[in-house]
Each structure stands twice: as structure tokens, then as C-alpha cells.
Structure 1
Amino acid sequence: METKNRTLWFVWFLLLPALIYILAIVAYPLIDTIKLSFTNASLRQTYDWVGFSNYTRIFHSGFGEIIIRTLIWTFFSVSIKMIIGTSGAVLLNAAVPGRTLFRVLTMPPWIVPMAIGIFMWKWMYNGEFGMISGLLQRAGILHGPFPILAYGDTAFWATIVTDVWIGVPFVTIYLLAAIQSIPGDLHEAAWVDGAGRFYRFRRITLPMIVPAMITMSILSLISTFNSFDIIWILTQGGPNGETTTMIIDTYRTAIGAYKFGEGAARAALICVFLSAFTWVYFRLVSRFSAEAA
């Protein structure tokens, strides 16, 4: 019994640094944010308790439209990243000449500092001297300069393209590692039995990398949902709010308008919303993978 207690205390001693980190870096700021969301905190040194008025005000300010826009933005961005990342991982795993070079060329979007990469895309989206507008004019598709970021629809999809460009390398490398962990004997046995390349991918590769795909999709979902740099640098939520997502709206409220209480309420809603969405997504994908197995 004494040995068991010593082992238990030793385990808690090893977990203590992680527990301190979680309490100090995660739990305390989260609790303080939730507490602040029930106040009218601003630049004033004092603030009052206002109850749920901040939350009530949120849903009377067009926040529902922002939620829908955020979901659409996240869905398309994550879906495209997973499709391209999975396809890229399969191709990079194939025995083709120059495979090492292709793997190296996959990394620049991830290695280049995010702000530099985004500014590069902003330059390419420019209507007067941007590369995209220039190429479309040379091809005869456009008859004059077209400022992509000046129109709501094109700006929305432009931010998605930029986010995909930045996120695909990480997804590709992660899934490539998962594919390489599959025992080669399985593919060899299937090949001997006459199974084609697509059949082997559908019956061997895909089922065995499903856990990695679930993990990667959740990580990508959380990162994309909370993406701030891309939209802010490209459009700052414009034009006319067409690219304003929940995180952009929270920043504008808390930092731009100095309404810290309302901003905290928006941040708390994002946390609750994202946690619930991730939990539902994980349950659905886990059930789907279990049925497929």
C-alpha cells in the first residue's frame, strides 16, 4: 500500500508542471474572460456587472450572419486543405523520380513567415499591378484591371485561397507521415493478388490513415476557425463586412472599439461554439470511421 501511494505521488509530481501550465496559461485567462463578459469593462478604470446584456446585445447586432459566414469560410477552407493535402501526401509517397525535390518544394508556404506570405498574396490580388489580374487580362478573360479584394464575393474566396495555400503543407506532411507508417507488406500482398492502385488506396491506405485525418481535420478546423492574420491583412473584414468572421468581429469590438466586456462575451461564445462544434464533428467522424471499418 505504501509503495502504491509513493507511485501515485510520483505520478502527480511528474504531472505538476503540466497542471501548473494549464491552470496559469489556459484556465485562468479563460475564467477571467468569462467573468469579464458579464461586465461593461472598457478603458475606464472601473466597470459594473451587467449580467447577460452583452450576450443579448450580440444577437441583436447581426452576429448570426457572421456565424454563418464563419462556418462557410471554415468549411470550404478545411475541406479543400484536406482534399489537396491527402492527394499531395499520396503523390509524395509514390515512387517517382525527384520525389525528394517535390517534398522540399512543398514546404515554402509553411516555412515562409505568415505575414510575408499574406502580403505576397495581397500584392498578387491587386487590380493595377497584381499578377492574377495581369494574367487574366493577357489571356483575354478580363478587359481591364480587376481589384479582387474590392468585391465581397471575390475577396471572400481570395481569403480562402490564401488560407489553403498556407495550411496545405502542414496537412500534406502530417498525412505523408501517416501513410509511411503503413506496413509495406499490406500493399505488396494486395499487389500480388492483382489489386489496382485505386483499390489499394481505398481498401488499405485510406482506412489506415483515417485516425490521422480526423486529428488533422480537427486541428485544421480550430486553426482556421480562429484565423485572424489572413483576413485582417488582406481585407480587415471588408469590403462592407463580407469577410468579417467571428474572430475579426471580436477584435474590432474589444480592441477597435475598446468594448472589452462585449469583446469578452464574443470570445466566450467562440470558445463554447467551437468546443461544441468540435465535439459533434469528432463524434460524427468517429462513428463514420467505425461503420466504415
Structure 2
Amino acid sequence: MAARPGRGIDWFPYLLLTPAFALVLTIVAWPLFETFRLSLTDAAMKPTENYVGFANYVEIFQDDFGEIILRTFIWMGLSVTLKIILGTCGALLLNAALPGRAMFRILVMPPWVVPIAIGVFMWSWMYNGQFGMISGVAQRIGLLSEPFEFMAYGQSAFIATIVTDVWIGVPMVTLYLLAAMQSVPKELYEAAWTDGASRAYRFRRITLPLIAPAIFTMALLSAIWTFNSFDIIWILTEGGPRGATTTMIIDTYKTAISRFRYGEGAARAVMILVFLTAFSAVYLGLLMRLTRRGGQPQ
């Protein structure tokens, strides 16, 4: 802050910001620094720790961590894509002039309002091959000839975790995009309707371009949350069977907490931060370009 003529720097505004700055340093900066410091050691269940440099990072890429990274991005990509598609469709339906629209807006909330653990436990019961509803219905309609344990096979367990994550995340995406759609000027729709434009044309030329920044923003937020999602996979499969649903956050937890290798777990946490930072930077760059063009896609 510039000093006034004949006076020194006014430190009062800085003093007012000091508590917030100290809070940020305490709950954000210091844990990040401590995690990075720990990643350079061989910290484990022992009284002392030794400096090992970047040995933990080298060891990460000597095992199957590359496969875990790829699995994480596939899991995140499929889940976020489905959330955006289903959320957009849901927002379109809730934004339409339909009878009982207010009731449907309330009914879309339970998957998001119900505690995640309770919702995931409900899905785990539905996936059960002996008394689960999904296997039972599939047998009744002839899709299955015998009970099927979804959590016992890698591919079915992987798909099951995605379905559960989408079920939990779609309501928030729907409401966010619904708010974006309601901000679109009604005059644009009226003019297009007067010119004889169809619903598909109005969506493609009016709705979609104007809510594109909201879609990009929600996709970024959903990607970060999905990338760091722990409870859904852990409650359903604990990363199994045979590592088929082990993502980076699950692998970090197993390394640091289950195996008590804190230094290696911290190195994996730092890698998660690096990947998320890079991913967010690319997404924000695309969003800024889209915003500068006024939300109009090329």
C-alpha cells in the first residue's frame, strides 16, 4: 500500500489481514510443507527418520504406480463425463415448463443430501449377489441365470464404483447447471421460437454456448472431487478385487496408513497434488479462453 504524502505506510489494513493470513499458513501452507518434507524421508513406525532425498519418488515409478495413475484418470474421466451429461439432461428437464416441476427439484436432492457413507452402504447391499436388488431383478427378467457378485470381479467392481459416484454427484451438477440455464435471457428463446427454431437448435445455439463456462467450471470442480474421492471406493471394495479399483488416493492411504510407510505415502500425496495442479491449470486456461470469447465455442 502506497504511503500518503508526508506520512508513513498505513499498517492497519495489514494488521486486519494478519489473522486470515496466519490461518491460511496454519491449515494450508504448513501441512503442504510438512508433507513434502516427510516425502524426502524414510519415516515409518520407528522413533527416528532419515533423509533419503527423492528415493521415495523414484520407487513410486518402479512399481505399478503408472497403472494406478492411468486407472485413476480413467475412473475420473468416465465418472465426470457421465455426471456432466446426466446433470445437463436433468437440468433441461427441471428447467422445462412441466407440471410438478418444484416437486421434481426437491426429489433430485436426496442422493446429495444423504450422508455419503449411508448411500454407499445402500449401494453395496444392492450389488450383493445373494440378496441384492440388482442381481435379483436381472435374474427375474432373464439377464442372469444365477446370482452375480459385482464386487468379486475387477471390471464389474470398477463399473459399480463409477455408478455409485455418479449417483452421488449428479444432483449437484444438475442444480448448478439449472441455475446457469435460468440465467439465460428469455428474450433469446422467444426470438428463436418466433423464427421457427426447434428445441434442439435452441439448445445447441443458445443454451449450450451460454452455459459453457458453467459446464467447464463444474467439470473442473467435479474432476478434483472425483480424483480425491476416497470413501466411495473404500467402503465398496477397499481398492479390490486384486487392486482393480485402487486409485491414487486409495494407494496413498494403503501405503501411509495400512503399511505404516509414511515417507512413501507422503511422496504419493505430493504426486497427487502435482497431477491435480497440472490438470487444474490446463482446465483454467481453457476456461479463460472460453470466457474471453464470450462463452462461444469454436
* Residue matched to 1:57: 59
The reply to whether residue 279 of structure 1 matches residue 284 of structure 2 is no
Q: Which of 120, 142, 148 is equivalent to 1:140?
A: 142
Question: Which secondary structure state, in structure 2, belongs to the residue aligned with residue 182 of structure 1?
Answer: coil
Separation (CA, whole Å) in 2 of partners of 1:141 and 1:185? 49
Amino acid at match of 2:133: M
Residue 120 of structure 1 corresponds to 122
Matched residues in 1 for 2:243 and 2:105: separation?
38
Q: What code does the residue aligned with 2:124 have?
A: K
Note the aligned Cα RMSD (angstroms).
1.9
Q: Which whole-Å CA distance do the structure 2 matches of 1:17 and 1:192 have between them?
A: 57
Distance of aligned partners of 1:92 and 1:14 in 2 relative to their CA distance in 1, 3 Å threshold: farther
Unmatched runs of 5 consecutive residues or more in structure 1? none
Q: Secondary structure at the match of 1:115?
A: helix
Query: Where do residues 33-52 of structure 1 align in structure 2 (5 Å cutoff)?
Result: 33-52=35-54
Normalised to the residue count of structure 2, the TM-score between the two structures is 0.93
Q: Secondary structure of 2:148's partner?
A: coil
More helix by share: 1
- Please tell me the residue identity of whatever aligns with 2:173: V
1:76-120: CA deviation from partner (whole Å, max 9, x where unpaired): 000000000011111100000011111111000001010000000
The runs of 5 or more residues in structure 2 that have no matched partner are none
Note if 1:292 corresponds to 2:294. Answer: no
Rounded Cα–Cα distance in structure 1 between residues aligned with 2:15 and 2:226: 36
Find the residue that maps to 1:61 and give its secondary structure.
coil
Q: Report the counterpart of residue 174 of structure 1 in structure 2.
A: 176
User: What is the CA-CA distance between 1:177 and the residue it aligns to?
Assistant: 0.7
Moved more, 277-286 or 150-159: 277-286
Structure 1: how far apart are the matches of 2:166 and 2:9? Answer: 47
Contact 2:213 2:287 in 1 (8 A): no
CA 18–196 in structure 1, closer or farther in 2 if over 3 Å, else same: farther
Q: 1:178 to 1:10 in 2, by over 3 A?
A: farther
CA deviation string 1:209-244 (max 9, x = no partner): 111111111100000000000000000000000000
Task: Give how far 1:8 is off.
Answer: 7.3
Matched, 1:21 2:6: no
CA distance in 1 between counterparts of 2:181 and 2:210 reads 8
So what's the TM-score if we normalise by structure 1?
0.94
CA distance in 1, matches of 2:198, 2:43: 64
Identity %: 62
The superposition leaves residues 157-205 of structure 1 with CA deviations (integer Å, 9 ceiling, x where unpaired) of 0000000000000000011111111121221122122222111111111
**Conserved 8 A contact 2:213-2:290:** no
